[in-house]
Amino acid sequence: MLMKWLTKKMVIGVLAVVILIMVGWLCFRSSKIAYIDSAKLMTGYNAMVNARKEYDSKGKTWQANIDSLTKDVQGAITTYEKTMALGTDKEKQLAKDLINTKQRQLQDYQAAIRKNAGEEEQRLTQNVLTTVNSFLQRYGKKHGYKMILVAANGNIAYADADLDITDKVVEELNKEYAVPAK
């Protein structure tokens, strides 16, 4: 009888210890956390590099058009100056009107470019960021992370360098980007 009682107490004691160990393990196990450096990610990710090249190419085209329109305004001014010396009143007025028209075209184009350039940059960047965010969710789940922080402009005051997974993420993102979509 005493033996049964001691055995029961030992079993209860062992169960209590096992339960405490399990609760401690569940409560105090380390969560897997990492961070990425957003600037390093965006300069290393080929999709962003290509998006910037595309934007720069469009920017060069826009600038060439502005240069051409500016040249047209300067040509109209030169024509006006010549007309002022020898032209009739009607020719002078036509030359002046031409300058105004060319200047208005230049101003309208510059305003449209300012608007479109911002929208185009946002469109290209947003597409890349959407892809990156989707990838980070999959990457985090696949590698068992509880949290992946984004360090932008030095917003993380301190983090152990071992928590920086930027290079791994860039490498995998670029591998995925290199494979054509099916």
* Domain residue ranges of the chain, discontinuous segments joined by +: 27-178
Strand segments (E) across the chain: 33-37, 147-151
What whole-number distance in Å separates Cα of residue 78 and Cα of residue 67? 16
Q: In sequence order, what are the residues at sequence separation of 6 or more whose Cβ sits closer than 8 angstroms to the Cβ of residue 176? A: 135
| pLDDT digits 0-9 by tens, 138-156 | 999 999 998 998 888 767 7
Nearest to 113 by CA among 77, 53, 69, 50: 69
What whole-number distance in Å separates Cα of residue 31 and Cα of residue 69? 60
> Would you state the pLDDT for residue 165?
92
> Would you state the pLDDT for residue 10?
62
> Would you state the pLDDT for residue 29?
55
> Would you state the pLDDT for residue 107?
95
> Would you state the pLDDT for residue 16?
54
Angle, CA 77 vertex, CA 71 and CA 82 arms, to 5° = 130
> Would you state the pLDDT for residue 179?
79
Residues of the chain with pLDDT under 50: 2, 25, 27-28
> Would you state the pLDDT for residue 85?
83
> Would you state the pLDDT for residue 9?
60
Look up the pTM and report it: 0.68
SS3 for 104?
Answer: helix
User: Tokens 């969560």 belong to which residue?
Assistant: 31
Q: In sequence order, what are the residues at sequence separation of 6 or more whose Cβ sits closer than 8 angstroms to the Cβ of residue 57? A: none
What whole-number distance in Å separates Cα of residue 68 and Cα of residue 109? 11
> Would you state the pLDDT for residue 30?
60
